[in-house]
Amino acid sequence: MCVLWDSDKPLSIQEVCDRLPEHNWAYKTVGTLLTRMEKKGAVSSEKINRVNFYAPLIDKSDYTAEQTKNLISKLYNGSVRDLAVSLFKSKSLTKDDINELKEMFDL
């Protein structure tokens, strides 16, 4: 989905593969994944000259917000506070991250 969200135009399977060099996914694997995402309503496809081009149907910010809610619900019993405590205790937050969060809460 990130590859499609980052594109300003619909992409073919090969174009998606080309934009994922670090994954080294097979053409058929990417095609299967896009077909499944289309069936679930996440992407649309348009056939042009025997080639399918795919575009996202769901908004990235809507998707990430929904997935964040799911994560908090499943792992932290719906508690945003517990998520924040977990991040703080893991020491994965930098001082800049903490300052940025403080500024956000001060709004």
> Domain residue spans in the chain?
2-56, 60-105
Whole-model pTM? 0.75
**Residue 107, pLDDT score:** 67
The H or E element containing residue 47 is strand 43-48
Cβ(100)–Cβ(38) below 8 Å: no
Give Rg (Cα) of the chain: 19
Of the chain, the percentage scoring pLDDT greater than 90 comes to 69
Is the confidence at residue 4, as pLDDT, over 70?
A: yes
Domain 60-105: CATH class, spelled out:
mainly alpha
Q: Please write the tens of the pLDDT for every residue from 47-91.
A: 999 999 999 999 999 999 999 999 999 999 999 888 888 888 888
**Residue 99, pLDDT score:** 87
Domain 2-56: CATH class, spelled out:
mainly alpha
Helix, strand, or coil (residue 71)? helix
